[in-house]
């Protein structure tokens, strides 16, 4: 939307929508509606047990807490390694890839019912000067998706 400062041409830039989800810390009650949960119950949408461990004695509470505590660092590392992978797949050094393109991110962090943070992100190729600049020919949707 030009009124919000976003150039019209940006819609042609390769981009993906990604969801980055926490690993399992143990099975939880997670089937609202008509499908039975692993516990055998068909939970209502607002059932208080949704997201709680099926077996509290074996659930990795420490892992879940550490995941949430380090979520921002995990996101930072994701962006670093994504840029490295893009350069590798493009056959470029990281410096050359950075000089020729910019990887832009828009993300939202939210809690799942089980209490684990996950991210929804739009990841986009821009030219080296940013959204007003078209990305280089090698910066394709397939390359971004594969990376």
Q: What is the pLDDT of residues 15-63, one digit of tens each?
A: 999 999 999 999 999 877 788 899 998 888 888 999 999 999 999 999 9
Which pTM was predicted?
0.82
Quick: pLDDT tens for 90-147.
999 999 999 999 999 999 999 998 999 999 999 999 999 999 899 999 999 999 999 9
In angstroms, what CA-CA distances link 1 with 9, 64, 123?
10, 39, 18
Domain with CATH 3.30.980 in the chain: 2-25+69-146
Residues composing the chain: 147
Look at residues 10, 6, 14 and name the one whose alpha carbon lies nearest to residue 137: 14
CATH 3.40.50 fits 2-25+69-146, yes or no: no
**What CA–CA distance (Å, rounded) separates 142 from 147?**
8
């Amino acid at each position: 939307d030009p009124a919000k400062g976003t150039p019209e041409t940006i819609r042609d830039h390769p981009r993906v929508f990604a969801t980055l989800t926490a690993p399992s810390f143990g099975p939880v009650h997670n089937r609202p509606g008509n499908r039975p949960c692993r516990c055998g119950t068909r939970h209502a949408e607002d059932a208080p047990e949704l997201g709680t461990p099926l077996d509290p004695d074996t659930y990795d509470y420490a892992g879940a807490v550490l995941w949430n505590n380090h979520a921002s660092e995990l996101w930072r590392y994701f962006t670093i390694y994504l840029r490295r992978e893009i350069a590798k797949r493009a056959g470029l050094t990281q410096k050359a890839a950075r000089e020729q393109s910019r990887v832009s991110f828009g993300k939202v962090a939210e809690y799942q019912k089980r209490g684990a943070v996950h991210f929804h992100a739009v990841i986009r190729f821009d030219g080296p000067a940013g959204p007003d600049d078209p990305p280089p020919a090698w910066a394709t949707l397939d390359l971004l998706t594969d990376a």
